[in-house]
Copies of this chain bind each other. A is one copy, B any other.
Amino acid sequence: MTPDRAAVCDLLAEYGALIDLGQLDEWLDLFTEECRYQILPRENYDGGLPAALVFCDSRAMLEDRIRALREANKYNIHTDRHVIGLPRILDGGLELEAPFAVYQTDQEGETRLFATGLYRDRLDISGPRLKIRDKLVLLDTFAVPSLLATPL
């Protein structure tokens, strides 16, 4: 089956919602077993520099990363909100690009823009459910001190 716009939107909506709800196990399950997840400053990417802020090339590695973030998060209490814009569907539905803005709210209830960027996902259509095989998070914002408090 070729994923259509609705299936791609479902996946992206799920992706953002699960991070915001803190349901990171369900979030992990959006990736295939063999997967890659990278966060790269857009600047590096455009300049051909491969230096990633986060680089995980298996789900186990991503899981470890998430566990570490959860630990770190105990001292940086905030909530996230992902607003994901309309996606572009490429390569007959096997790839997507979607712009995003992530907001964080602190314990005083103040919300600020945390980061913007672009998702570029390679999808897996072999199973009954659309999954992410390779996710590249191109990050516009790199002047972020508390960068990796949660996945992006």
Binding site for B on A (CB under 8 A): 4-6, 9-10, 12-14, 16-17, 20, 41-43, 79, 81-89, 97-101, 103, 105, 108-113, 115-118, 140-144
Contacts and interface: CB of A to CB of B under 8 A. Distances in A.
A83 B81 contact: no
A16 to B, nearest CB: 6
A61 to B, nearest CB: 26
Closest 10 CB pairs of A and B: A109-B142, A109-B143, A83-B85, A13-B86, A111-B141, A105-B140, A81-B116, A13-B88, A110-B143, A5-B6
B101 A81 contact: yes
Contacts of A115: 111
B113 A103 contact: yes
A41 B109 contact: yes
A60 B84 CA distance: 33
Contacts of A111: 113, 115-116, 140-141, 143
B43 A140 contact: no
A144 B4 CA distance: 39
Contacts of A43: 109
